[in-house]
Structure 1
């Protein structure tokens, strides 16, 4: 105990005084040493509560010193020099904070200093001989009650509740919630190794649980499932109840989910989907389960049928309907495009996880299905929320069933064999992943073709000048941070490069003026709009219908104006349309031979739509992820397509656009390795936005020294 106490005291002294005695009472030098200690801890991922308190203490003293220097009776040159030193420290703190959300929150103006931070700040002042004023006890502050989220109960739902007043939970459900029995793995941290087991995958280890051969028919007369679809339904019929259905886009996940509910008799069934596909889900339900009435929740739910077997609701209105959804008595829940819930701190994720947890408490063996063709966007950590929804893990550890499987392997995370065995345990919990090339060989191949275009004239020069301005702003931040380091090294500090890029990316999300990576991509998109529309019009005249994707509304507007000028009829599919208007536009493109082009929002129309009448896709703007790009292309490359699909990417040469095109391709490796058993090397898990800024900064720094 004495030794542990000595370590804690030593840590506090080191954190509070930077590990050195101050020299000549120089507060800025003392702060610089403390900042370097925090920076080193962040690099090692050792951000302890003491480190956070030190970080906040430095932030407090930095603000005080900046205010003092600005009003001090000193020469202008001395004031300028001190302010420059303080600004350099602030830059290092900001780039360090990007590594850790806890540190980032401490830099906010509204962050309340902790007692530990105040104590460390006082100690640093006392060590420097600065008089410390005792602070009065703060006055208690009355906290106003937080306004509750507006909740609604549709009239038809209230009528159903009155008609079924004795709807009771299944008390046997509690058995599924029991904690794991202590065993060999007690005391081991398991979530990290479980996620790592998918990063280490490869060598022909696809992520698909064993599936039985279908022996029963659950389809209505006149409809047949493909063999791979029937296998999943057969697994439900044999008793399996939780699935991450991660089939590649276009392999009919909607039909599988609806017929899985039929096989499990999981009614009423709750289906949570993106807004753009609500109407399509209702149509699919009418097709595959016509004897099961389906209702779609719109707005406050005035048109909801409270006696329906299938309730379809979009993520955006879950907050106001969550109350009655929790009490409705669902026996199954499907989450479509489940990668939407990967951020567990978002409201939609919290609503989905709460509904799932309540369902598992009330119902023994509910049907839980997460549908997504792209479960991994940037990192294997994207699995966490989906596994929680399915009841395989909680916030910190695997739950009983998965833990028992891990115990049965006989390994612990220190064993090399643990990772392959652990991955198999998770897969057998219900991961189902099939590729088109394996189960739907009759779907023609697809390819991606890049079409570089030159942005000439004033527009092109302006875009390239903006890119140089962005690069030089990051170079200045990098040089400023390096100037406060004791060691001069001509080699690039790639860790600092990434932190500067992260800081720039964070600023870009809030900055209202000046060029940033997002405004530049929008400008590049606008500059390409007419060129991309001209190419799409040529394709439509020579090869038939074309799907045209853009990310920004202004780019869609410019393309549609170009189509009108060229006399090309088009449908417009956007995120601000009501489901009925959107479906009308889809139907016009699919059914009217005169409608040659579908102008689609990359985010709003990239999921849930069947546009296989077209075999050519034009991507006027690039996505930020390979997953989003794949989803868009697979609106055409799916079951029902009879021709090879070509996606034409319009790329602005000699701009950041071409960098992003290269990076998107490198991001495909993670899903291929983690889910498909590929031996492909996995690219860094940072997102494309960050990697593009890193590349831009590295090129600018190397150009300076060339």
Structure 2
């Protein structure tokens, strides 16, 4: 009977074989198996791209972690444990085969291999796909900084950001950055190129303005119906055509904020991160609401408790980047704007390193993000002020040009030792995305501006004490110069004044002054001069306000501002004020009062707090009660008034104390203004030494004394 039963079964339709256990298609192992097969297939086609290298490392890490979990799981039977370990061995075998094909990924198998934010993101997504439970904070990848910046102790993750991540847990980053150009160095392989590139902007201008070719705009209206000027529409058209990195160095007042927001709209670069000085955060929110009203905007204050985590535009100031750099780098921004980009010129500063770190993380996640550096004064003291800005934009790294710029330099066909290299190298950098327009060239409807110096005599006891202090400092410098000259040995004597030694003596004196807070020095003298001029400067501003209308009054020090406000109060003039210690709401209220209230005659401003980002064009007269240490700071202050929409000629009145170091500082500021003119505007003006004005002023005092002036 048994045999007959077997024959009937064999002679009829064969029944499907019974499974002794169900196929396990749930959990982490199937996810790893699918991912590792995708990587293996990619390796069979050629070298692995960054997206697959990231996946390779994520699989390797999760496989190790799962193996350890399986071995330690007391709830598994021996058979179940053996089955799962066998399947994990299969994943490991495919990883090994892949590494054999592309040996560059072998290093990723090491347990101590560096883990990028991209790898952590892919790893997290695999865990979610496997149904593993993660705490809400684990869904937000706040990567460890990839640069030398230490993880900030005050780091926070606002709850709104957690909510955004929870709402989009499977939103994948764009890892197609592998399609970026690869540098193929040939003749320039062993050249140090940073020096020649910077020099090309000093000596290679050839009379040309530093501005890339821009397309002709098809319209001068925005999607929201606002009207643009032609120069603004040109940049937006360039972004629409696919250009993605810009050093927008238009002169202050030409609408850089609007251009960057509309460029982001044209490039669909949202969510957009905007990093700004604290003083202009509110202004950026207003401008975003005006130019891209279809996009939501939020401003980060403090720990971000009241931010909108789902906003399209997130505005944060430099000072609180340390709290937010972790989650900002993982949010998935498609673009980043750095306003007043000269703030990051010191690469060693914490804010510069945070900005560079954020830009690098965005590039890791996003193919060709929109990156824009905005500054009307990109050069403060040296052409090398470009360096950190270029690195933010991704044109260079720490040591050399990146692939796109390197290939452009190779295409020149010359080395820095050959004629013609500097002009062509400058052009290659400009075409990476430098855009520089001057008011006189593109905004004929903006009236001219002029700087008028008002010399004042400090003939009271304070003035005499200042001049006495200057004489004492000069005597000290001369004595130090002659001592250094006498101590020289083994050097040929220099005929006349040794100007190198003059600058060295000045540098020594500045270093000594930095190291001590006692005694008279150039800084304390300048501050005393500012206090001595305060009454005279305020008197002059009051006369202007009584005769020609609203006046903007700038000073560096709070005590000078206080003295000026006392003068205005005695004259019966209502004032507003902008100071560094104000909250954003207070500052906004003060500005609104000056702009909208006809009875507010003068706004008293700190050069530091109000020198950038504000629109004060309701006035056409600026009084500079104290001189800045840079021409850029002076220019920024004047351009709070000299802007698009200004209908009157603008005059900046500099109050200068005669027969003091004030006059020398004014001369140096004017000479420094030639730096940007030559490097960016194609001017043929002689470029003066690019040292600090403090050093130049001290050297000038010593030189004048040695010449017997």
| Residue among 230, 234, 239 paired with 2:233 | 230
Distance 1:700 1:677 in 2: 36
Match of 2:640 in 1: 635
Residue 471 of structure 1: aligned partner: 474
Distance 1:490 1:672 in 2: 34
Of residues 564, 567, 577, the one that matches 2:569 is 564
Counterpart of 1:493 (choices 493, 498, 513) is 498
Pick one of 230, 248, 252 that aligns with 1:249: 252
Q: For each residue in 1:573-603, what CA deviation from the matched residue of structure 2 results, as whole angstroms up to 9, or x when unmatched?
A: 1111111111110000000000000101111
| 232-241 vs 495-504, greater mean Cα deviation | 495-504
CA contact (8 A) 2:155 2:325 kept: yes
* 366, 373, 377: which one aligns with 2:376: 373
Indicate the residue corresponding to 2:32 in structure 1.
Answer: none
- What's the TM-score once normalised by structure 1's chain length? 0.77
Post-superposition offset of 1:398 = 0.6
Match of 2:692 among 687, 694, 699: 687
Secondary structure of the structure 2 residue equivalent to 1:607: coil
Q: 2:525 aligns with which of 516, 520, 523?
A: 520
Q: Larger C-alpha radius of gyration, 1 or 2?
A: 2
2:200 match: secondary structure: helix
Shift of 1:220: 4.5
Are 1:597 and 2:576 matched, yes or no? no
The separation in 2 between residues aligned to 1:630 and 1:353, in whole angstroms, is 27
How far did residue 170 of structure 1 move?
1.1
CA distance in 1, matches of 2:488, 2:562: 50
Q: Does 1:310 align with 2:321?
A: no
Q: Distance between the aligned counterparts of 2:550 and 2:204, measured in 1?
A: 40
Could you tell me how far 1:326 is from its partner in structure 2? 0.7
Q: Name which of structure 1's ranges 411-420 and 194-203 shifts more when overlaid on structure 2.
A: 194-203
Contact 1:218/1:263 (<8 A) preserved: no
Q: What is the rounded CA distance, in whole Å, between the counterparts of 2:151 and 2:679 in structure 1?
A: 43
Contact 2:221 2:228 in 1 (8 A): no
8 Å contact 2:239–2:267 — kept in the other structure?
Answer: yes
Aligned equivalent of 2:515: 510
Alignment counterpart, residue 615 of structure 2, candidates 606, 610, 635: 610
CA shift, 1:370, in A, is 0.2
Do the aligned partners of 2:176 and 2:367 also contact (CA within 8 Å) in 1?
Answer: yes
1:160 aligns with one of 154, 159, 164: 164
SS of equivalent to 1:603: helix
1:545 shift after superposition:
0.4
CA RMSD of aligned residues (A): 1.4
Unmatched tracts of structure 1, length 5 or more: 1-145
Question: CA, structure 1 residues 535+344, in 2 after alignment: closer, same or farther (shift >3 Å)?
Answer: same
- Aligned equivalents of 2:214 and 2:331: distance in 1? 32
Pairwise mapping of residues 256-335 of structure 1 onto structure 2 (< 5 A)? 256-335=259-338
Q: What number of residue pairs does the alignment pair up? A: 558
How far apart, CA to CA, are the structure 1 residues paired with 2:404 and 2:611?
Answer: 36
| 1:18-167 equivalence runs, <5 A | 148-167=152-171
**Equivalent pair of 2:220/2:230 in contact (CA under 8 Å):** no
- Please state how far the C-alpha of 1:395 moved relative to its aligned partner: 1.1
- Checking the alignment, whether the CA contact within 8 Å between 1:545 and 1:597 is kept in structure 2 is yes
CA spacing shift, 1:550–1:184, aligned 2, 3 Å: same
Residues 301 and 510 (structure 1), Cα distance of their counterparts in 2 relative to 1, 3 Å cut: farther
CA distance in 1, matches of 2:320, 2:699: 38
1:197 aligns with one of 200, 211, 223: 200
Q: Does 1:418 align with 2:421?
A: yes
Structure-2 separation of matches of 1:293 and 1:217: 23
- In structure 2, list runs of 5 or more residues that go unmatched: 1-149
What SS does structure 1 have at the residue aligned with 2:600?
Answer: coil
- 2:666 is the counterpart of 1:666: no
Partner residue of 2:174?
Answer: 170
* 1:691 shift after superposition: 0.6
Distance 2:360 2:182 in 1: 14
Alpha-carbon separation, structure 2, partners of 1:618 and 1:296 = 32
Deviations 1:217-243 (A, max 9, x none): 772444111000000000000000000
**Matched-pair contact (CA < 8 Å) for 1:589–1:598:** yes
Structure 1 equivalent of residue 661 of structure 2: 656
Contact 2:182 2:404 in 1 (8 A): no
Q: In 2, are the aligned partners of 1:216 and 1:234 still within 8 Å (CA)? A: no
Q: Hey, what does 1:72 align to over in structure 2?
A: none
Structure 1 CA distance for aligned equivalents of residues 172 and 219 of structure 2: 31
- The alignment's TM-score, normalised by the length of structure 2, stands at 0.77
Instruction: Tell me if the contact between 1:218 and 1:259 (Cα under 8 Å) persists in the aligned partners.
Output: no
- Distance in structure 2 (CA, Å) of the matches to 1:412 and 1:153: 49
CA shift digits 1:125-157 (9 cap, x unpaired): xxxxxxxxxxxxxxxxxxxxx995320111111
Between the aligned partners of 1:510 and 1:232, the Cα distance in structure 2 is 47
Shift, 1:468, TM fit? 1.5
Say which SS state the counterpart of residue 420 (structure 1) adopts: helix
